[in-house]
Chain A
Amino acid sequence: MNTQDKVKINKLPTGVPGLDEIVGGGLPEFSFNIIAGAPGSGKTTLAHQFVFANATPERPALYFTVLGESSIKMLRYQQQYTFFDPDKLPDAIRFINLSQVVLEQDLGAVLKEITDEVEKTNPAVVVVDSFRTMVRKPQSDMELQSFIQRLALFLASWQATTFLIGEYAEDELRDNPIFTVADGLFWLRQTPERNSIVRKLQIIKLRGQDSVPGLHTFRITDAGMQAFSRTFGLTGHVKDPPSHRRLCFGIPELDQMLGGGVREGDSVLVAGSSGTGKSVLATQFIAEGIRKGEPGIVAVFEERPQAYAERATSLGLDLETPQKDGKLKILYLRPLDLSVDETMHAILDAVQRIGAKRLVIDSLAGFEMALSPGFRADFRESLYRMIFALTGIGVTILSTVEVDESFTEFPFSTYSISFLTDDIIRLRYVSIDGQLRKIMVVIKMRGGNHAKDIREYEITDKGVVILGKRLTNYQGLISGIPVYSDLSKSTEEPSLDTGMEHKS
């Protein structure tokens, strides 16, 4: 027997956006699964989405309801979801209530009822909701395990993919013999974190295929459940080879300081205190990309897209037309309880839709504030995953970050994330000749040349404009309080030969 003789397990769509990727491409056909979680965690919605995605009149779904919520009430609410197609009832999806049998008879009778219906209908999908209500009846563990075992065997023989839905508390997960029978175990959680609610999904077990480990966030909206994989839907994606192309800001002096621009696929951090022009620089970066035919995404958290575009107009940059032409998308991401994974999903979706090459995140502080408290704790780790995923598909990311101005140190970021970035541009105020002026310096460029020059700049109606030559007649510029030094006059132009450091 060679590898070609191995049985091929078909993968069924889960009907939940994002979940197929998490379970490794789809749910194994004929698998026996348990969906567990506390009330209100989304178990029934998940089962319904699977049922509506897979049931056909030829291979229908049998949905057994037991005790608890009545089918009428359940369908009253479930039909509000956009995935709910009433035309699928009753030919493709049949709801059968077993409450009478459960209340008046034993598990043997329940099994008989289910097997009779399965034999009659030949379903592709069987759901028992909620299976836990049967379990709570007084009976021996052995009786229950035997019931589950026989049910699992029977339904697998009838080539049905099965879901048992049950309310389980966290501590019931361990040493539960019922779970050993299941091929797949889906655990749904709904956790309060301060004033926020965070929903998470974990595939504790899935026989026969690789699922993405860990806790994945999910959201329930009008469209039903949507899951956000920790790998952002990029599982199996091979990182694009490093590019040697340089992306310009359209500010000749800055581009020259950067050795021709930032390298494509880099993560660039623009750090500076309030009013130093971080957003202006970011806008110029995006606008220059669009001018060169490179679509872009701007993720804003602190102002509305309209305000962002209007501010660009005041700098002579047109962001309205490219938005209409589908070359630019300004994403306003400010719902409460956002997860990084959801943000990433929105960004990735936009990247793929318009083929974006440049992405601006304005700003990291706003991004962090939009997250629910629990996610803020993992911000650095999440940011790492996000930057790695996006740069991996060739997107160049420019993030702005506000830093507190200090006259004793020169911080690059409040998040200790400079190791996540390839390039850092630092903007800061300096006190010179009785004026608060602005300077800019390229701190770091991974894998490229950059100038060491400290340049003065202004923000005008043309955006960031770098003034004259590098400042050579002051000492201690980065302290913010430089000392005048009459050592020399400004040099001619920033010299790549003398002012560059080289790293590879």
Chain B
Amino acid sequence: MRGRKMTALPQMRDLANRLLDYEAGMGKASESVGSPALRVYEKLRQNLSSFAGATAFQSLAFRALTQAKSETSALWAVQVAADGSLQGLGTIDAQTEMGQDWAGERGIILIARLLGLLRIFLGEALTLSLLRSAWPSEVFDDRNSAQRRSA
């Protein structure tokens, strides 16, 4: 609808949240580099590039980023490179005084958009099947989500 800002589907935001939560937890337990959102994105990139090819992933990521930019201006400087990796995150962090929450929010939006596109093209079942090759099954357990929301 014209003039109305479209947002990622709540289910996709929820799924993105779970992945980010998992990576945040893993980050505390190990020497993981980068933000949880970046780690989620990189895992998706590795898996989907292997599955569908770097070009196919780059196209999807570009579309997801375009959608995400319409939802938050915090991603204005971010770009998708030819290999599908994200560029320009450092520029944003340097020029804005975003806290961890903001970084998390823009990450959630981008990941949710990417997952949303996968869901549109492949359906929920197949999308979850693909994600299961990168994250353990408990991440996708609905009970975990319910607990997190009630906490």
Contact = CB atoms under 8 A, between A and B. Distances in A.
Given A72-B60, A97-B49, A86 B54 contact: no
A104 to B, nearest CB: 10
A236 B51 CA distance: 43
Contact of A72 (B54, B121, B125, B129): B121
B54 A79 contact: no
Interface stretch (A88-96, A188-196, A319-327, A330-338): A88-96
B126 A89 contact: yes
Contacts of A96: 50-51
B50 A97 contact: yes
B122 A75 contact: yes
Interface in B40-68: 49-56, 60
Name the prevailing secondary structure of the B interface residues. Answer: helix
A72 B123 contact: no
A90 B54 CA distance: 18
Contact of B54 (A65, A91, A95, A100): A100
B56 A97 contact: yes
B132 interface: yes
A88 B128 CA distance: 12
A70 B132 contact: no
A79 B54 CA distance: 22
Interface string A387-420: 0000000000000000000000000000000000
A71 interface: yes
Given A65-B53, A99-B53, A90 B133 contact: yes
Interface in A255-270: none
B129 A89 contact: yes
B130 interface: yes
Interface string A67-78: 000111101100
Contacts of B129: 86-90
Interface residues of A toward B: which range?
20 to 34
Interface residues of B, number: 19
Contacts of A89: 126, 129-130, 133
A110 B116 CA distance: 32
Contacts of B123: 76, 79, 86
A366 to B, nearest CB: 42
Interface in B111-144: 118, 121-123, 125-126, 129-130, 132-133
Given A76-B121, A90-B132, A90-B133, A71 B53 contact: yes
Interface in A261-285: none
Nearest to B48: A72
Contacts of A71: 51-53, 56
Contacts of B60: 72
A95 B126 contact: no
Nearest to B50: A96
A94 B56 CA distance: 17
B53 A95 contact: no
Contact of A97 (B51, B130, B132): B51
A203 B54 CA distance: 36
B118 to A, nearest CB: 8
Given A76-B121, A90-B132, A90-B133, A70 B52 contact: yes
Interface of B: 49-56, 60, 118, 121-123, 125-126, 129-130, 132-133
12 contacts: A65-B52, A72-B52, A72-B60, A75-B122, A76-B123, A79-B122, A86-B125, A96-B50, A97-B50, A97-B51, A97-B56, A99-B55
